[in-house]
Structure formats: C-alpha cells, structure tokens
Amino acid sequence: MELNTLTAHELIEKINNQEITFEGIIDSIKKRIKEVDSKVRAYVRRDDYINLSEYQSSAIKGVLKGIPISIKDNICTKGYNTECCSKILEGFKPPYDATVIRKLKEAGALILPIKTNMDEFAFGSSTENSCFGPTHNPWDLERVAGGSSGGSAACVAVDEAIVSLGSDTGGSIRQPAGFCGVVGLKPTYGRVSRFGLIAFASSLDVIGPITKDVRDCAMVMNVISGYDEKDSTSVNLPVPDYTKALINDVKGIKMGVPKEYFIEGMDEEVRDIVEEAILLLEKLGAVCKEISLPHTEYAIPVYYIIATAEASSNLARFDGVQYGYRKEARNKKQEAGIIDMYKNTRGEGFGEEAKRRILLGTFALAHGYYEAYYLRALKVRTLIKKDFEEVFKEFDCIITPTSPTPAFKIGERIDDPLKMYLSDIYTISANLAGIPAISVPCGFTKDNLPVGLQIMAKHFCEEMLFRVAYTYEQNTSWHKMKPKLL
C-alpha cells in the first residue's frame, strides 16, 4: 500500500506504532508528484521541491508529526516562493511564515516547498486565471478542478498530498473540494488567523483545510485555529477539540433546506444526488425541512461589489516598489517616472481577471458611485446576514448543494465572466455572513464527476458541521473512492 494514498490519521497511527518513517511518506509523495503532476498540474514551480531533503532530521513531534501538507500559493511560507500565481509577484520569497504555517510546523507537519496552483490572487472559480495555466480535474483531465484553490483540492484528490491548506473568499475551498470529491472547510471568519494570507477581500477571506476525510479536517482545524494578536480580526475564543465532535449520530438535528437553492438552471443530476443525501440524513434521524433565505438572489451582486472594492484596496500595494515584477517607463515627457512605473507594472503584471476586478472595485468606491454601489451593497449584506440569523433561531444547520453543476470543461466559461461568477451562487452567502461551511463528497454523476454536499452552521459552530459531515461520511463510501485515470 502506497503511503501517499492514506489519510493523515492513518499515517499517524502507523508512525506511532513505528511501522513507517516520515521519510517513507515524503518519498511516496515525491514519487506520486513525479508520476502525475505533469498531467494534473496541481503544483506550481515544481523544480523547487528538491528542498524536501532538509526535513530528514531528528525527532518530529506534535499531533501532525511527519504529515506533509501542501499550501496554496497565497499563504506566506518563509523562504519558499509565494506568488499568488501572478506575474506581479514573481520571485517573491516571504521573510516570514503565516501564523497558520508556524502553527503547523509546531505541530510537526512538513510544509511542502512547492505551492499549489490557484486563480491569480484568488480571483476565480476554476484556477484558469493562474499565470501558470489551469489545474486539471483528476476525475476528468479536460475539466477544471474548480477555484480558486483548484491545486489544493486536486492534489489531495489524487494523493499528491496528504492534506492541503486553501483559502475561501466566495467559495474557493468548498467549490473545488466539491468538484474534486474531497472535503473542504470554510471556518467561521475570525476562527483562523489571516496573518500571512495575501489579502483579497479582508472582510471575507478565511484559510481552511482541504482533506481526504472529515477526521483529517478536524485534526488540521485543531492546529490552525485560535486567536492571533497579529490578526486584529481574529477572535479570542477557546478552540475546542474538533475531533470530539466526530460523532456518528444526527438524531433530532434540525436541518434547513433553502428553497432558493433548488432552482431552474441547476444540473438535474446534482439535484437528484443532493436530494438523496438529504433523504439519507433523514433516515439517520435528522429532521429536514424546507426554509427560505429570501435575499439569496442578491448575494452575487453584493459579493462582486464588496469583494472587488476590498480587492482594489488590498492590491494597491503591488506597484513594483518593494517586491515582484517592475516595469519602468522610459522617456515619458508628461508624467513623473514613478506614476508610469506603477501603471506599466500593474498593466503588465496583473492578468485580465485581476484587472477587471480592480477596475470594478475602483468604480464602486469612486466619487459619485460609492453610495449607489458600495454603501448599498453593505446594507444588503446586513439583510443576507439577517436571513441566516432568522433560520438559525430554529435550525441547527443548513444543507445545500455545493455547486449548481459538476466540474465544467476547461475553457467553457473563461470568456463569460458573469457566467463564471454565477457558479459561486451557493457558497458566497456564507462568506458574506461570516458563517462556517463544509463541503463533503455525496455522489457522482453518470460521467463520473464528483458532487459536493454543503453544510452551513452558526458562527463558531464548526462542531455541528463536523458532526453532520462525519455522520454522513461514515454512512457512505464516497470518501474512499479515488480517480482511476492516473
């Protein structure tokens, strides 16, 4: 049995029983990357991985001892290139570790020096906006792996990593997890420190785990969660032991199924598969009822104003001065040299989607438009948040599909930004409301494409997510299936 095909908890048991060495795990990962990554392209800058040899030293201790973990290219890892898959950050080697990286190292995990592929600056739902080209879905190489954490989801699905870390601003962990048949968790905003996460939208971004099963997800959450004084938006609440929430029992749990999420335009197979999953949960004792989240249809326009406005501000720092790409102007008569440098650097360094979003955000904040767009969006955000608060007065969690369709073909939506944005319709509201949400595999279409089930809960109630997700998983075998193409 190849070690890379196991879960973290299975590997740790073998390490504790001294059946295997951590070198053995790393070797099997390296072998798998060599074997499949030229087709899947989950990793970027693959030549960097020879650095793995520096881990062959003494005792590794901690709850994740010896577990190799791959990291999305927007999370700072000291000394290892972190470029957000953008030309404008080429060559950037962070001088510090993100807090989550520091915590993982302290827990004994081995941070892989090669980063996973993503849409540039997390702008996207398919990983096609990466300056390195798209990641291919391991279940069908002609399809997208989802985005923006496509690389992280794909490498876990195809055993090129044991666990991975992604980020989620509008669904970027959950949607690719759904498309690739793995588990992806978006924690409550403020649960996990954002220090060291290169910011896209500061009021929406979170870091979270992508794993092969729910237990691994809980284990990683135990390590990365917690208050951080370096992140002024992190919340000072104790971190429970999430593995204790892995209970195979949902009797009496009240689950709301929002009618606005089962609409025309959603794939019929996805509808059928998700309805089956809900039936199973009912059979296991859950009480499932239809609910309403009346402002759902406004979530996408609200998101695309707020997220792009925040992005336009966060990306102002990429100007060629301190790091990354710089393009100087020559012989300009009219403007001072530095303004031209900013304009040329940003014009050439950013990809198309990045420019589109920055311009949209700048527009929404500009004098004369601010009230009609940005301020209005912030108010509608309050209404969306209130929709969830109303539902959670009576219900323990909310169940929905993760995406309206399974993975689409590479190139299918790239020329239609609006169509691309609509693929986030089920995931976006959780970011606007700040609530936690998890995607677990719940079946396959007749083309053998994975379908994800999303569970949402109240702020800081990740334990509810783990309990429901674990129960569902333990009563099905979707998580044991692997792509056969490679």
Of 28, 86, 126, 148, which one is the catalytic site residue?
Answer: 148
Q: Shortest distance, CB of residue 92 to other proteins, whole angstroms?
A: 6
Q: How far is the CB of 48 from other proteins (least distance, A)?
A: 16
For residue 87, the minimal CB distance to other proteins (Å) is 13
Between CA 278 and CA 272 the distance in angstroms is 10
Provide the 8-state DSSP code for 75: B
CB-nearer residue toward other proteins: 143 or 295: 295
Return the number of the residue (303 or 472) whose C-beta is nearest other proteins. 303
- H-helix or E-strand containing 72? strand 68-72
- The dihedral built from the CA positions of residue 253, 259, 260 and 263, taken in this order, carries a sign that is positive
Is residue 148 part of the annotated active site? The answer reads yes
State yes or no: cis peptide before 148, omega within 30 of 0. Answer: yes
Nearer to other proteins, 279 or 375 (CB): 375
Q: What six digits make up the tokens of 142?
A: 């002609």
Supply the minimum distance, in Å, between the C-beta of residue 419 and other proteins.
Answer: 10
CB of 257 to other proteins, least distance (A): 24
DSSP for 381-407 reads HHHHHHHHHHHHTT-SEEEEES-SSSP
Contact between residue 218 and residue 183 where contact means Cβ atoms under 8 Å apart: no
Which C-beta is closer to other proteins: that of 176 or that of 187?
A: 187
Nearer to other proteins, 345 or 471 (CB): 345
In order of 201, 296, 303, 314, the CA distances from 308 in angstroms are 7, 19, 8, 10
Q: Which of 155, 169, 242, 239 is nearest to 200 (CA)?
A: 169
How far does Cα 49 stand from its chain's mean position?
23
CB of 442 to other proteins, least distance (A): 28
Q: How far is the CB of 176 from other proteins (least distance, A)?
A: 23
* Alpha-carbon gap, residue 84 to 117, rounded angstroms: 8
Per-residue buried b or exposed e for 331-341, using 16+ beta carbons within 10 Å of the residue's own CB: eeeeeeeeebb
> Are 55 and 80 a contacting pair, CB within 8 Å?
no
To other proteins, the closest distance from the beta carbon of 441 in angstroms equals 29
Q: How far is CA 285 from the centre of its chain?
A: 30
Residue 287 neighbours by CB under 8 Å, 6+ apart:
252, 253, 254, 255
| Nearest approach, Cβ of residue 120 and other proteins (Å) | 14
CB-wise, 376 or 482, nearer to other proteins?
376
Contact 367, 360 (CB under 8 A): no
Pick 45 or 326: Cβ nearer other proteins: 326
Instruction: Specify whether the CB–CB gap between 101 and 113 falls below 8 A.
Output: no
The conformational region for residue 91 under phi > 0 = left, psi -120 to 50 = alpha, else beta, is left
d(CA 73, CA 126): 15
CB-nearer residue toward other proteins: 32 or 458: 458
Which two structure tokens, joined as six digits, stand for 422?
Answer: 């609509």
Residue of 28, 30, 72, 225 marked catalytic: 72
- Set 86, 172, 193, 423: catalytic member: 172
In sequence order, what are the residues at sequence separation of 6 or more whose Cβ sits closer than 8 angstroms to the Cβ of residue 375?
Answer: none
Q: How far is Cα 117 from Cα 2, in angstroms, rounded to an integer?
A: 24
Q: Which two tokens stand for residue 382?
A: 């309050």
Beta bridge partners of 165: 71, 209
Nearer to other proteins, 67 or 306 (CB): 306
**Has 172 been annotated as catalytic?**
yes
Q: Would you please indicate which residues are annotated as catalytic (active-site) residues?
A: 72, 148, 172
